[in-house]
Structure formats: C-alpha cells, structure tokens
C-alpha cells in the first residue's frame, strides 16, 4: 500500500486562518492566521477547514478496501476502472489472517484466485465477454488504486472514523498513512485526529 500527496492548498493553515478572519474581524498576517486555524480546529469551528484541500493517490489496496473508502460522501474519487482496464497479472491483497489458515485451505484460496484470473482472461481474449462483464468473476481482493480529493474538514471526519481500533485492518493502515501525509502539510490541523 502506498499513499502519495499529489496536490494541496498552498500554505493551507494560513489559508484557513485567513478565511476565518472574516468571522472574527481579526489580524490577517500569516502567524495570526496559522494560530487562528489551530484555534478554529480546537474549538470545533470546523467549517473553516473547508477552505483548504488535499488530493492523494492511494495505490496497492484491495477492492474490499476501496469499497469502504468510496462511500465517503464529500470526497472526489477516481478509481482504476475494471470496465476499461484489462486485468493482466492480477495482484491480490490478502488478509493477514490467511497466514493462520491451514495449508490445505490456504492452497485452495490461491487456486481460486488463479482460476478466476485465468477464466477472466480467456473470456476477454476470446472476445466472449467484454471486460466490464468478465470482471464479475474477479475476487474483491484484486489490487486497485484511486485518487481522492477532499477539503480538510472532510479529511478529519474520514480519519476520525478510520484511525480507530474498530476499523478494518486495511482501511486502518490507509488512514494512518493519509494522516501522516496530511500532518506533513498541516500539522496543527492533523495533529492527532481522535480515534473512537
């Protein structure tokens, strides 16, 4: 799994504080704006966080994980399309729990993945099915990637729900990496999103 910051509001905390200055008729120098942004976040004035955004590329995740991520209502999301992209040499994301499964079931797991990929490719290459229909046979563990864009209020909400001991292991790992990336550009806004 890899998360890469691909775009963001320049000097995001100063932009948030500048936008919020209208609410308080306050100073607009950079230092005051950065302090104000942190204060707005700490005091729950989270609408101010909508004035900065970040776009991230998330790679090497399963479609199981992506299905959980794409439910975020306020995010802009673009995902690798199995309708248009031919899946050759499919990579699978397997749960760590597979390491604890007995050898017989583990071998069957991998055999089913291989058989699904082989059938998919035969159907597509012989033109018996379009990619958009043949993809139905592929397991949800297929690796995918997506680009995701959201304002900082949305990102904080996303992280609050997914940097949690209750989150599914793969989504949790993605969320932790997203938090690291966002903390790098806005440490006062992403300085410890509270997990539930």
3-state secondary structure 64-94: HHHHHHCCCCCCEEEECCCCCCCCCCCCECC
- How much is the average pLDDT of 115-140? 97
Same domain, 48 and 123: no
Q: 68 and 104: one domain?
A: no
Range of the domain at 112: 96-137
**30 and 59 assigned to the same domain:** yes
Q: How many domains does the chain have?
A: 2
Whole-number Å distance between alpha carbons of 146 and 79: 4
Cβ contacts of residue 152 below 8 Å, gap of 6+? 12, 16, 49, 50, 51, 52, 53, 54, 182, 186, 189, 190
Active-site residue, selected from the candidate residues 36, 63, 156, 162: 162
Q: Is residue 4 scored above 70 in pLDDT?
A: yes
Q: What is the per-residue pLDDT for 165?
A: 84
pLDDT in tens, 39-68: 999 999 999 999 999 999 999 999 999 999
pLDDT of the residue at 137 = 97
Say if residue 155 is in the same domain as residue 74: yes
Does residue 84 lie in a domain region? no
Convert the pLDDT of each residue in 92-108 to its tens digit.
Answer: 999 999 999 999 999 99
Domain membership of residue 19 (yes or no) is yes
Position 192 scores a pLDDT of 74
> What CA dihedral angle connects 76, 80, 83 and 84, to 10 degrees?
110
**162 counts as catalytic:** yes
pLDDT band at residue 196 under the 50/70/90 scheme: very low
- 64 and 148, same domain (yes or no): yes
If asked whether residues 113 and 22 sit together in one domain, one would say: no
Whether 100 and 18 map to the same domain: the answer is no
For residues 190 and 156, the answer to whether their CB atoms sit within 8 Å is yes
| Same domain, residue pair 70 and 118 | no
């Amino acid at each position: 799994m890899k998360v890469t910051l691909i775009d963001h509001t320049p000097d995001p905390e100063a932009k948030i504080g500048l936008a919020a200055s209208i609410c308080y008729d306050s100073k607009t120098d950079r230092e005051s704006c950065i302090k104000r942004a942190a204060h707005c976040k700490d005091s729950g004035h989270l609408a101010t966080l909508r004035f900065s955004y970040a776009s991230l590329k998330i790679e090497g995740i399963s479609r199981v994980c992506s299905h959980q991520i794409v439910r975020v209502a306020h995010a802009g999301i673009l995902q690798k399309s199995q309708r248009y992209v031919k899946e050759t040499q499919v990579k699978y994301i397997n749960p760590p729990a597979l390491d604890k499964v007995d050898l017989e079931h583990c071998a069957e797991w991998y055999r089913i993945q291989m058989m699904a990929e082989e059938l998919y490719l035969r159907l597509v290459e012989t033109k018996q099915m379009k990619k958009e229909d043949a993809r139905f046979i592929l397991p949800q563990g297929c690796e995918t990637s997506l680009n995701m864009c959201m304002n900082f209020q949305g990102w904080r909400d996303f992280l609050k729900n997914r940097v949690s001991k209750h989150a599914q292991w793969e989504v949790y790992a993605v969320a932790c990496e997203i938090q690291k990336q966002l903390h790098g550009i806005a440490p006062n806004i992403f300085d410890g999103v509270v997990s539930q």
